[in-house]
Structure 1
């Protein structure tokens, strides 16, 4: 009898094509606070991190210290853009509609942002309450904390979990958790070295679309 496999999805850049919008939101908010120069190139180095780690990384890269009292401005600006423009990644809705077995979301974003993203893209129905955020654990990606937490909550053995991630940080976290890692490069923020960087981070496979993910999952014994 085939063992049960838990599929753990990152949210941003995997389920929803959010990274270009999120980068625009950071740029706008930093500009509003008199800190220019936070562009998509800077934000690209932060993909996969939780917000507090992103703010620290931007500080390291630019010298801009974002005021802690204004943290809420980032989500407020992001929420506006998501409400107006956020779309699911191409093919994910059909993929989830045929996916058999347990699945959950494990994201660096806040619970509110994850739920909003899934609601406006129509994907919430595929996950129910199986939503886990880095805000629930001590360390964000690339630490394995969020993936181990999700596996525990879903009553799954880490060795039986398959993580789908778009960022090297996320892949590193999945590998550190002892899970199979699939890199995904089908989001709007993909770039020439994306696949190579996911492979270098430890991805077992890298897929450019959900048809390819389905093929890889089938090879791992997961009907998709």
Structure 2
């Protein structure tokens, strides 16, 4: 047991702070269907949840066996931002968690900086994270590599072993574990078993449970 509280909480963005996963799946899935690749929600999550857009597009090209239109990514971004502007909301309960959180915190996302700022701004959370937003665009490798979380910890001046990661995707959980951090898996959308399989130290399904988990005094070797 370790009596010291965490030195830093690192939140993922999509699916943890903003309730964007279903919106993103709908937009991306509709565009993929237009290219002849039809996937259901479970397949979309299995293939793309928590991954960088570059990884997703490379996988799509591989499955299609040919290139996407030159304007595919730009058109995807346009449609996604329009949908987010109309529908995006905070993850239920996360505002209350942040209101009561006395620990230092930041956000680290495989999404691009513009999308992260847009999404957090749209739901009123951007001021809480200003100056503490870290994107896979800032590192050589996105999640599931540990680079992004190690970058965030370094910029925040906190040792990896003192960090707690809050993630909803297997790729994000794997990245936090590889970074030597304690990882709390948020299973509101992702099956809990998938988060446990990649090493989540605790799994929870409601943001109401997060404060108590952050208060646990445990080592990251749980």
State the TM-score, normalized to the length of structure 2.
Answer: 0.90
- The yes-or-no answer on 1:200 pairing with 2:201 is no
Correspondence for 1:13: 15
Correspondence for 1:156: 158
Correspondence for 1:172: 174
Deviation readout 1:169-209 (Å, 9 max, x if unpaired): 100000000000000022xxx15xx1011011000000111
* 1:78/1:101 CA distance change after superposition, 3 Å: same
CA contact (8 A) 2:84 2:119 kept: yes
| Matched position secondary structure for 2:62 | helix
Query: Which stretch shifts more, 170-179 or 117-126?
Result: 117-126
**Coordinate RMSD, CA, aligned:** 1.8
Correspondence for 2:59: 57
- Find the aligned partners of 2:207 and 2:50 in 1 and give their Cα distance: 20
- Find the aligned partners of 1:150 and 1:67 in 2 and give their Cα distance: 35
| Matched position secondary structure for 1:164 | strand
- Find the aligned partners of 1:169 and 1:114 in 2 and give their Cα distance: 18
How do residues 98-177 of structure 1 correspond to structure 2 at under 5 angstroms? Answer: 98-177=100-179
Deviation readout 1:113-134 (Å, 9 max, x if unpaired): 0011101111112211100000
- Find the aligned partners of 2:90 and 2:181 in 1 and give their Cα distance: 25
How do residues 75-86 of structure 1 correspond to structure 2 at under 5 angstroms? Answer: 75-86=77-88
Deviation readout 1:49-73 (Å, 9 max, x if unpaired): 0000011223334546323543222
How many residues align? The count is 215
| Matched position secondary structure for 1:105 | strand
Structure 2: 5+ residue stretches without partners: none
- Find the aligned partners of 2:19 and 2:118 in 1 and give their Cα distance: 13
- The yes-or-no answer on 1:216 pairing with 2:213 is yes
CA contact (8 A) 2:5 2:217 kept: no
CA contact (8 A) 2:8 2:162 kept: yes
| Matched position secondary structure for 1:67 | coil
* Shift in Å, 1:41: 3.4
| Matched position secondary structure for 2:15 | coil
1:26 to 28, 31, 37: 28
State the TM-score, normalized to the length of structure 1.
Answer: 0.89
- Find the aligned partners of 1:64 and 1:105 in 2 and give their Cα distance: 35
* Shift in Å, 1:13: 0.6
* Shift in Å, 1:103: 0.6
* Shift in Å, 1:43: 1.9
Correspondence for 2:90: 88
Query: Which stretch shifts more, 2-11 or 171-180?
Result: 2-11
* 1:3/1:215 CA distance change after superposition, 3 Å: closer
* 1:8/1:151 CA distance change after superposition, 3 Å: same
Structure 1: 5+ residue stretches without partners: none
- Find the aligned partners of 2:70 and 2:148 in 1 and give their Cα distance: 24
